[in-house]
Amino acid sequence: MIRGAVRYLDRRAGAAPLLRKALRYVFPDHWSFLLGEIALYSFLVLVATGIFLTMFFEPDLSKTVYHGEYAPLDGVHVSKAYRSVVDLSFRVKAGLLMRQTHHWAADVFIVAIVLHVARVFFTGAFRKPRELVYYIGVVMLMLALLEGYLGYSLVDDLLSGMGLAIGYSVAMSIPFVGANLALLLWGGPFPGPPSFEPRMYVAHVLLLPIAIGTLLALHIALIVARHHTQFAGRTRNERRVSGLPMFPGYAPRSIALAFAVAAVLVLLGGLVQINPIWLWGPYEVAQGTNGAQPDWYLGWLIGGLRLMPGVDVTVGGYTLVPNPFWGGALFPLLVFGFLFAWPTVERRITGDDRHHNLLDRPRDNPWRTAVGCAFATWVAAVFFAGSADRVYASFGIPYAPQIWFWRAVALVGPVAVFFLVRRFLGEVKRDEAAASVSPGPASQL
């Protein structure tokens, strides 16, 4: 049967040479290379559960009165969008499992991407000839953040409405074009006409998934074109790549990982509640919840908005740059600007324009590692500032001093971490050099 299928494909598509190559494609082995695959498989779970959810979700903001399974909301005026999500959670069999799995998958998806970007950064995998793979990956991270934000904004519960109000304010805050841009996107002053919901919906279920899927394909195609990077080893150098072949060695491993990711996500979706929107209630402009916390991947943005002192740029009593611009627009611009600029910056500074197939261990390049750690410290300080209100509620530490603390950490932390890491790694390298009179595998080349 297999013989027949291969013959059929070869005669129709000339596929045999490609198949022959694909089966023996070499995957160098290291646990950290699995992070990207975890993101990939989370994406598949997102698509699968998402398709199920679209069968029940109504992207409609017109109002209706809720009468359904969840008694505490009985008689409450809600949007049809919100009602459809409550109903698909309580009325549709396996609906809540699918919804919670979808939500967990989104959270895990972005964790995996962030860790994957960190791995690529600290090992220098972004260097020539793989800059394009890296840029595409960072674009996918941006799209994934937007996709996640739109996903929970669609539901029209109180938390999502507050998130949208903040997004609207950030759009409004952009100098010279903000008000016009926000009116264009929302179709009118916030919360906008009911037609705003279908805009988010088509972006969430069609435009962004297609964009992410296309970039994913391109990302993988470009990796295959240049082959995987690898750490130096006995049989691994700049000219030869070695590891498990795709078939039969690597395929069952990757399949195992795919199923493991699905297992974790489904178990979380079934056993660990996430985003119980019936507790938040429907969104109304006059309502707010205390201790409002978005999904984790927006924590750095809410932190940026909370950390920033109340500074507006004004000209003659008129606002030029409203405050949300700093934390909501400039901060992510700087973060992604850094990620996009880094390969070029590093090449300019080091003058290293060579072709790299071997990865650095983080200690091999103390300067890059120190810069990366400093950058991560900066973003983390802002991220943690975003949870100061939860810390206040849980531990009673007053809010304002916490904010001042994180402001200080965001300013001083990166500098301190930079010098500490560079110094520590310098010592590690010296010890290593002293310990081995013969050069280690990394320097054999």
Partner 1 sequence: MKWLWSALALLLGRGRRPAAPAAVERPRIVPRQPPSPRGENWVLLLLVLATVAAGAFIAVYAIDRLPAQTQLLGLALGLAFAFLAAAAAVASRFVVPVEEVSEPYPEPEHPAERDEVLQIVEESGERMTRRRLLKVAAGGAGMTLGTALVAPVASLGPALHPDALRRTPWRRGVRLMNSSGRPLRLQDIEEKAFYTAFPEHASHDELGAPLVVVRVDASRLDLPDGRDPERWAPDGVVAYSKICTHAGCAVALYRAPLFEPTSASPALVCPCHYSTFDPATGGGVLFGPAGRPLPQLPLEVDGGDLRAGGGFSGPIGPSWWGVRRR
Report phi then psi at 55, rounded to 5.
Answer: -70, -15
Distance CA 224, CA 27 (A): 10
- Of 55, 202, 225, 433, which lies in the binding site for partner 1, with binding defined by CB under 8 A? 225
- Interactions with partner 1, residue window 347-366 (CB under 8 A): 355, 357
Asked if 306 is part of the footprint of partner 1 (rule: CB under 8 A), the reply reads yes
End-to-end Cα, the chain, rounded Å = 47
User: Which is nearer to partner 1, 315 or 434 (by Cβ)?
Assistant: 315
**Amino acid type, 162:** M
Question: Cβ 32 to partner 1, closest distance in Å?
Answer: 18
Residue 71 makes contact with partner 1 by CB under 8 A: no
Question: Helix, strand or coil for residue 233?
Answer: strand
What's the gap between Cα 256 and its chain centre?
23
Smallest gap from residue 252 Cβ to partner 1 (A) = 4
The one among 94, 341, 412, 415 contacting partner 1 by CB under 8 A? 94
Residues 265-294 that bind partner 1 (CB under 8 A): 266-271, 284-292
- Shortest CB 185 distance to partner 1, Å: 7
Site residue total, partner 1 (CB under 8 A): 103
Is 107:297 a contact under the CB 8 Å cutoff?
yes
Distance CA 35, CA 39 (A): 6
**Please, which residue, 140 or 172, has the CB nearer to partner 1?**
172
Q: Which of residues 16-35 bind partner 1 (CB under 8 A)?
A: 24, 26
Q: What are the backbone dihedrals phi and psi of residue 403, each rounded to the nearest 5 degrees, phi first? A: -60, -40
- 78 and 282 in contact (C-beta within 8 Å)? yes
Task: Return the number of the residue (23 or 341) whose C-beta is nearest partner 1.
Answer: 23
Beta-carbon neighbour count of residue 339 at 10 Å?
A: 20
Contacts for 16 with CB less than 8 Å, ≥ 6 apart: 6, 9, 10
Within 380-439, which residues bind partner 1 (CB under 8 A)? 389, 399-400, 403
d(C-alpha 14, C-alpha 23), whole Å:
15
The correct pick among 75, 310, 351, 396 for binding partner 1 (CB under 8 A) is 310
Residue 340 CB, nearest approach to partner 1 (Å): 24
Residue 164 C-beta: closest distance to partner 1, Å = 9
Q: Which of residues 313-342 bind partner 1 (CB under 8 A)?
A: 314, 317-324, 327-328
Does 264 bind partner 1 (CB under 8 A)? Our answer is yes
Decide if residue 100 touches partner 1 (CB under 8 A): yes
Take residue 334 and report the two structure tokens written for it: 């700087």
Binding-residue pattern over the window 158 to 187 for partner 1, x denoting contact by CB under 8 A: ----x--xx-xxx-xxxxx-xxxxxxxxxx
**What dihedral angle (degrees, nearest 10) is formed by the CA atoms of 24, 219, 379, 386?**
-110
- Scanning residues 106 to 135, which ones bind partner 1 (CB under 8 A)? 129
Per CB under 8 A, the segment of 6-14, 51-59, 96-104, 329-337 that binds partner 1 is 96-104
Residue 409 · residue 380 · CB < 8 Å: no
Which among 266, 280, 288, 287 has a CA at the least distance from the CA of 85? 280
Q: How far is it, in rounded angstroms, from Cα 33 to Cα 39?
A: 11
Residue 153 sits in the site that holds partner 1 (CB under 8 A): no
CB of 110 to partner 1, least distance (A): 21
Whose Cβ is closer to partner 1: residue 173's or residue 369's? 173
- The residue behind tokens 């800059």 is 131
How far apart CA 309 and CA 403 sit, in angstroms, is 10
Closer CB to partner 1, 220 or 262, in the complex: 262
